[in-house]
Structure 1
Amino acid sequence: MGASAMAGQFGARLQTRVSRLVSRPSFWLVAILFGLSLPVLNQVLRPPAPPLPVLGQLGAFSFLDQDGRAYGSQDLQGQVWVGSFIFTRCPTICPAITKQLGHVQKRARNLSQAFRIVSFSVDPTHDSPEVLAAYAHKHGVNPRMWRLLTGPLDAIRSTVEGGLKVAMGELPEGEQDFASLFHGTQLVLVDAELRIRGYYDPAEPEIVDRLLHDATMLINRGH
């Protein structure tokens, strides 16, 4: 028998065996299960993301929240939280920041026992707890997750600039141009040990996804 004939017979036998195998339901069950397992295998085999850097250590602080109650670092022990900087008379960036944090609040409901949002007023002389309460109501703030804080100007400045490393301006006395009150707009991610782990620009696309991804990683890993 020639080589070509032998090759033809081998090919025919192979095709027959493949046809029989494919015709079995168990073949397709195995194929489906294998296909479904690929994403899981990719997740298992993928190296873990590196830990977030430690960018600073925040000291103790205590201010008044929108309900007029003392709230500060003691209440945040063991919590991962994001800090923001706003004032209620702000006509420009603050409403946009608050809107982004509203998306964070909504998407972080499954993290509510381990995650908080804290907004520091950079105009605390005007932003009393009552004023903050009205602002919170207007923007759908859930006090179980999100606190708005006010207090003595010097103490707020010490925490914002000295602790969280975010710039904070001040309105000259009698000044009514609230757009001129400069302040940092970054969101600051803080871990359960009051360590700064990231700064985020609220204007960036996908910022909510990235912030919640990093917060979830801190909660799950504990560091």
Structure 2
Amino acid sequence: MNKKLAGILLFVSCILLASCSPFQPEGPKVSGFTFTNQHEEAFGLEQLEGKVWIADFIFTNCETVCPPMTSTMKQVQDELREQNLDAEIVSFSVDPTVDTPEILKEYLARFTDDDSNWQLLSGYSQKEIERFALDEFQTLVNKPNEADQVIHGVNFYVVNPDGILVNEFSFTDPEVIEKIVDEVKRYQ
């Protein structure tokens, strides 16, 4: 192998290894948003300023992953409270034409009786949430025409007090609650 090719391979290998490193720079900063919560109040990045928050994408008539995701998020809420950790939870509806504030409030009441730190958001169009999810969280949201189910990612996202997305975890990870709590501890 000639020296030029060996140099190129070494360079490419270093880039690939660096991309696998656990010491990556933090992720993107979440852009400003203001939507409507389950209490019909405006809620957005302004209310989250200086706070750690955990986000996910769900919808209330989901027949598959959303109920267990929301149940897992309730366990995160309980563990944060148990450890006296301060964090907000923000669940974005991926079916905004169905998920009115009243429906979101009823849905959340099935999982928790304390929504003081948990906002379920809607108040945007389907196209807006699809673009928002992709641009801000690099996740897919798609509601096929004539369908009542929405395709969406199943990750939980941790955003630091500066509004930077610092980590994401699959809700199917058996250690997801512990990992999220550990991530929140970094900012307490």
Q: Structures share a fold, TM > 0.5?
A: yes
| Equivalent in the alignment of 2:5 | none
Counterpart-to-counterpart distance in 2, 1:53 and 1:195? 11
Contact 1:117 1:146 in 2 (8 A): yes
Runs of 4+ in 1 over 3 A off after TM superposition: 50-53
Indicate which of 38, 45, 57 corresponds to 1:85: 57
More RCO (CA 8 Å, sep 6+): 2
Counterpart-to-counterpart distance in 2, 1:87 and 1:175? 13
Gaps of 5+ in 2: 1-21
Contact 2:129 2:141 in 1 (8 A): no
Indicate which of 123, 126, 135 corresponds to 1:162: 135
Query: What is the TM-score with the length of structure 1 in the denominator?
Result: 0.70
Deviation at 1:131, TM superposition (A): 0.5
Counterpart-to-counterpart distance in 1, 2:164 and 2:59? 24
Q: Secondary structure at the match of 1:84?
A: strand
Indicate which of 136, 149, 152 corresponds to 2:121: 149
Q: Secondary structure at the match of 2:178?
A: helix
Deviation at 1:133, TM superposition (A): 0.6
Deviation at 1:175, TM superposition (A): 2.5
Deviation at 1:151, TM superposition (A): 1.6
Identity %: 30
Q: Which moved more, 1:162-171 or 1:67-76?
A: 162-171
**Alignment length (residue pairs):** 164
Counterpart-to-counterpart distance in 2, 1:122 and 1:93? 13
Aligned-pair RMSD on alpha carbons?
Answer: 1.6
Contact 2:85 2:184 in 1 (8 A): no
Gaps of 5+ in 1: 1-49
Counterpart-to-counterpart distance in 2, 1:209 and 1:61? 29
